Every structure is written in C-alpha cells, then in structure tokens.
Amino acid sequence: MFFPPAEVELEEAWLTEAGLSSLVVGSSSTETPPVVEAVLSTLTRQQAATVRKRLDNYNETLRKRNRQPIRDVRDVFTEPETDSADHGPVPTQQQPEPPPRRYHTTTKTIRRSTNRGRSTLPVFVFEDRLQEDPSSPAPTPSPSSAVSRLRCADWLLRDTPYSEGVAEHKWGGTCRDCVRFHGDESSELQLAPASPSHGLTCTDDLSSRDLTRLGFIAHIELSTFLLALGVQSKRSRLPHRRTRDSGVFGVSLNSLLDNDRKRFPGVKVPVFFQKLLGVLEQSGLQTEGILRVPGSAARLKFLRRELDRCWSAFDWTDVRPVDAGGLLKLFIRELPTPLLTHTHLSTFCSVLGVSSEVHQVQALQLLLLLLPEAHRNMLRALLLFLRKVVSHQDHNRMSLWNVSMVMAPNLFTRQNHGNKRSITKQQEEMEEAMGGARLIGLMIRHQDLLWTLPKFLLAQVRQMNQASSQRQFNLSRTTSRLLRRKNDKNLVGELSEGVIRVHAPLHTKVSMAIQLDEQTTARDVTTRFQSESSPAQHLYEVGGNIYERRLQPDCCLLDVYRVNPRCDWLIKP
C-alpha cells in the first residue's frame, strides 16, 4: 500500500539530502555549521533560489502545523549590504572569464573573492564528428551516415551547471543543446565521451568523503535543473520490506557487503551477484531469450533454497542459463530496498517528462549520484552486463528494447494490488512499465557518460572543501593571508613553479620531483615508477581542495596543478 508522506517530511528529507539537516532538526544556534556554510557558499544564484524556495515552503508548512520554524530563510540567505553587482545577470559562456560573484554568497557564510580563491575551468566546444581519423576531411552528412554519427558530449567540460543552460525551456523555447544534439531527428542520439585528456573524473575515482559532498550539490542541482525544465518531481515514502539476516535473497546490500568484506576486503559489489553475472556471461550470452524465457518455478525455488543455505559451496555446473537469469531477476526483486531506492523511484519516473534526450541523460547523471554507494556500484555492474547481452543480440534475440522491457518490472517494483484491478489501473501499470523500459534503455546506451562527473560539479566540490576547511580552522582573513604568504614562500623555496614532488611509498624510489608541461600526463608519471614485477599503479591527487582523487592515465597534470596547486601527489594501487 502507498503512503503519501506529509509535506513537511518531504521538505525535511530534501534539505537533509542537500546537506542542510541542521536547518531542520531543531538547532537553536544562530550559527550554521561548517558543512552548511560550505554548501551554501558554493551555490549559483539559481541553485540558491531552489534552496530558498524549499526552506520557505518548509517554514510555511511548520506554521500551518502550529510548530515553530527552526530558522527564517532570511537568516540563512542574507545578501551583503555592499557589492550590488552580485545581483547582475549571469554572463554567457562566450565571455572569457566569469564575474567574481557568479556564485551565491551570504553574510553568514564564508566571504570570498572568486578572482583569488577559485580557478575557473576552461570551456571547450567541439563540433559534431564521426569516430575516425581527425586529420581526414569532414564527410558530407548523408542519410546512410546519420545513423552512425557520434556527437561529443562536450557539456561534461563546461564550467556552468546544467540548470543555467536551459532557461529557454521556461518559455517553451529550445536551448542550444537541444538544437545541436537533436537537429537530425532521423538518427538515434549517439553520445561519445569527451577526451580523457581533459581531466574528467569517474564516480569511483573519488573518495567517499568527496562523493558525499558531491551528492549534496548534485541533489540541489537536480532539483534546480528539473524545475528549470518545467518538470515536477515528488518524493515517495514506501514501506520497507522485511529484511533477512541470513542467506542472499531478501538481504540488504550493506549486510551482504559486510559479510563479503570479512573474506574480501574492499569489495564493492556483493560476491554472490558477481558470481551470478559471471555464470551468465560464461554460458548465457548466446542463449536465445536469455532473461526473457522463464525458468522452471520449481527449479528456481529449489535453487533459491540451496543458495540461501550455503551459496559459497554451491556447484553452478548444472545451472541452466535460463535458471541463472531467473535467479538474477529474483535477487533484484527481493532486495529489501529497491536497487533504485524507494526515495528516488518517483524521480526516475519524472525524468521521462523531460522532452530532450540529452537533458534526460544529464538528469540521470545527477540522479545516479544520489543513490547509496552500494546501490550505485551494483547498478553499474548490472548495466555493464546488460550491455553485453544486447551486444550478442544476433545470437540471443535480445535487442535493447527486449532487455529493457524484461528488466523494467524488476527495477521499478510495485506493491501487489491483488488480482482484481480495474482497466484504468492496468493501463497505468502498462504505461509505467513502458516508461521504466525507456529509462533502462537510456541507462544501458549511455552508461559510460552516467558515471562521468561534469566539471562544474567537481569544481563546486572543490569550493565546498576549501570553504569548509577555512571555516573549520576559524581563521581570520588577516591570519589566513599571512599563513598563505608563509606557505607560498616555503613552497617556492622547495619547488619551482610547475614542479611537483610525487611520493611513492611502496617503491624503491620514494619520491621524485617532476617538471610539468602541457603534455605531461598521469601515465607519464606512473611509468617512471613502474617495474615488471609491480602491480598496476595509479596517480592520486590528495589534499588541497580535494580529499582524494584518482587521476585517469591520460589526464593532463598541468591542469590539475593549476586548479589545486597545494595538493600532494601520491602513487599507489
């Protein structure tokens, strides 16, 4: 049965997920905690307006329920008395540098000058191109080549949030991305990731601490983005299923991972799920109707009982591919908390209200960042497997749409309404199934983009870390300036401009000073420490305005150095 949550609870949940829980949990202090200040200090004007609207609605709801509001919105968002330029219009991307006050600033949050404390990321613009030798002349578009046409997802490289580029949608217009990516309606949208040399980051490259803060910004930006597109999203609170403590079916992902990590430290996806996918990849990818053809109900019941009893000693030799596919769907359906979570299921469905596919991908990209880490990692493993199934469709007869339709009821679960359902209810369920299939198809096709962080999000996390660090040490502006000058002097005395010291505690070469240039990549550095017997190593950016970030091999280090000059450089597995 569905229980609509009270409006005040919805607003409390929204503010909590945005990292602003201290504004709603009854704090009597007039000072906002460092995390709240850090979040508020990084917001753009549109993002700040979304938070202000939510807080206004929360306070108004409290008044209606005869409860005292925790804090008036004007106490949180008080505009500075001076510097009225902060109210000016946001510049377009064609301007070489953003103005110093593009981000919202409050009198109670950390005051900063973005000219001094924030390094802006360049804006890259790419022309649509085929995936071929860049030195060859551009071919003339033709009906036959339109289907294979790839469009570079250069919006990942922009310095401005998604919500600032869709203002035209408010008046029924069409934004630049819609014109560019959907100009040719005769071809399916194919998005190619931007070049790794531009320093893009994947979700698993960041530390858990940075991912948590990234989720705060992504949550606010997603609400702002959908609001700018005219799409309403509401939270739903569904009753949790009863959780089992033993076995594998009906056990929460966190419990499964806790048990697995006793034997396999650092595992991110339940070992049982990995084993199940391995069995299917080994014997089921070329099986006709895999995932669609149901296995024997009696056989599945027997297999479930045996796996719950002791799956680690289970012999998978005689398990048929169709039965393994049935176990996969059963495992996903039986999760106490759905893989996409009760909290975000309705938001996933609301993404279908976005008219442009490129904006749907952008919204999904933000939405997946809000999933718990265990759910996000398992979903990533599942989507990778489903893409392999689709790639063998010539043998298994499972096209992208077939796979999406089969998996939709397992990911977009509904409570049992009984056997007697009205025709209207059946039609609604059918429409929801079709919508869920479209979403799964989008996630399978564009999964490489979904796990790639747009640069503007990482830039806001850097600002948040820097603001939080300053607030934590409670340094005055004068003291901070003196310490900065002292540190700069010490750094200059040790290393010249553009020179970094890379630490490799697990190697015979403990550290090495390296002069950076425009072509120096992370691979160039790790190669200097690599030996035939050593395992694969990665270069990490540690400290400064980031907690920890693994750098992609083709990442240009000079760009990282310019954005975070105070970081340490560490080589480890």
Paired residues of 451 in beta bridges: none
| Domain containing residue 524 | 496-572
Residue range 405-425: average pLDDT?
74
Cα distance between residue 204 and residue 549, in whole Å:
9
Higher pLDDT, 420 or 562: 562
CA angle 327, 330, 331 (to 5 degrees): 85
Q: Is 50 exceeded by the pLDDT of residue 492?
A: no
Whether 533 maps to a domain, the answer reads yes
Above pLDDT 90, what percent of the chain? 47
Whether 546 maps to a domain, the answer reads yes
Nearest to 93 by CA among 565, 461, 455: 455
Q: Which pLDDT score, from 0 to 100, does residue 25 have?
A: 55
Task: For residue 546, report the phi and psi dihedrals to the nearest 5 degrees.
Answer: -140, 150
Higher pLDDT, 571 or 490: 571
Residue range 113-129: average pLDDT?
34
Q: Which pLDDT score, from 0 to 100, does residue 316 have?
A: 92
CA angle 330, 332, 333 (to 5 degrees): 65
Whether 139 maps to a domain, the answer reads no
pLDDT-derived band of residue 486, with 50, 70 and 90 as boundaries? very low
Task: For residue 423, report the phi and psi dihedrals to the nearest 5 degrees.
Answer: -60, -35
pLDDT in tens, 271-304: 999 999 999 999 999 999 999 998 889 999 999 9
Q: Is 90 exceeded by the pLDDT of residue 96?
A: no
- Total domain count for the chain? 2
The type of residue at 3 is: F
Quote the crossing angle between the two packed helices 271-283 and 321-333, to the nearest 10°.
150
pLDDT-derived band of residue 11, with 50, 70 and 90 as boundaries? confident
**Domain of 563: which CATH number?**
3.10.20.90
Higher pLDDT, 509 or 231: 231
Residue range 86-110: average pLDDT?
40
Cα distance between residue 281 and residue 290, in whole Å:
11
Higher pLDDT, 267 or 65: 267
Last residue of a domain, one of 46, 66, 86: 66
Global confidence as pTM:
0.80
Q: Is 60 exceeded by the pLDDT of residue 147?
A: no
Tell me the average pLDDT of the chain: 78
Whether 372 maps to a domain, the answer reads no
Q: Which pLDDT score, from 0 to 100, does residue 432 have?
A: 82
Q: Is 90 exceeded by the pLDDT of residue 117?
A: no
Whether 557 maps to a domain, the answer reads yes
Q: Which pLDDT score, from 0 to 100, does residue 94 have?
A: 41
Cα distance between residue 135 and residue 39, in whole Å:
45
Lowest model confidence (mean pLDDT) among 61-75, 196-210, 394-408: 61-75
pLDDT-derived band of residue 511, with 50, 70 and 90 as boundaries? confident
Whether 562 maps to a domain, the answer reads yes
Q: Which pLDDT score, from 0 to 100, does residue 485 have?
A: 47
Lowest model confidence (mean pLDDT) among 41-55, 250-264, 414-428: 414-428
Cβ atoms within 10 Å, residue 394: 7
Whether 40 maps to a domain, the answer reads yes
Residue range 49-71: average pLDDT?
77
Above pLDDT 70, what percent of the chain? 72
User: Which residues, 6 or more positions from 355, have their beta carbon under 8 angstroms from its beta carbon?
Assistant: 229
pLDDT-derived band of residue 359, with 50, 70 and 90 as boundaries? very high
Q: Is 90 exceeded by the pLDDT of residue 265?
A: yes
Higher pLDDT, 558 or 243: 558
Structure tokens at 173: 């217009």
Q: Which pLDDT score, from 0 to 100, does residue 286 have?
A: 93
- Helix (H) / strand (E) element for 453: namely strand 452-453
Nearest to 195 by CA among 444, 451, 554: 554
Structure tokens at 372: 């718990």
CA angle 108, 109, 113 (to 5 degrees): 125
pLDDT-derived band of residue 532, with 50, 70 and 90 as boundaries? confident
pLDDT in tens, 301-320: 999 999 999 988 899 998 99
Lowest model confidence (mean pLDDT) among 11-25, 501-515, 547-561: 11-25
Higher pLDDT, 23 or 98: 23
Q: Which pLDDT score, from 0 to 100, does residue 562 have?
A: 93
Q: Which pLDDT score, from 0 to 100, does residue 462 have?
A: 95
Cα distance between residue 375 and residue 338, in whole Å:
9
pLDDT-derived band of residue 187, with 50, 70 and 90 as boundaries? low
Whether 60 maps to a domain, the answer reads yes
Q: Is 60 exceeded by the pLDDT of residue 474?
A: no
Residue range 504-520: average pLDDT?
87
Contact assessment for residue 248 and residue 307, using Cβ atoms and an 8 Å cutoff? yes
Contact assessment for residue 198 and residue 123, using Cβ atoms and an 8 Å cutoff? no
Q: Strand locations in 80-235, DSSP E?
A: 151-152, 191-192, 201-202
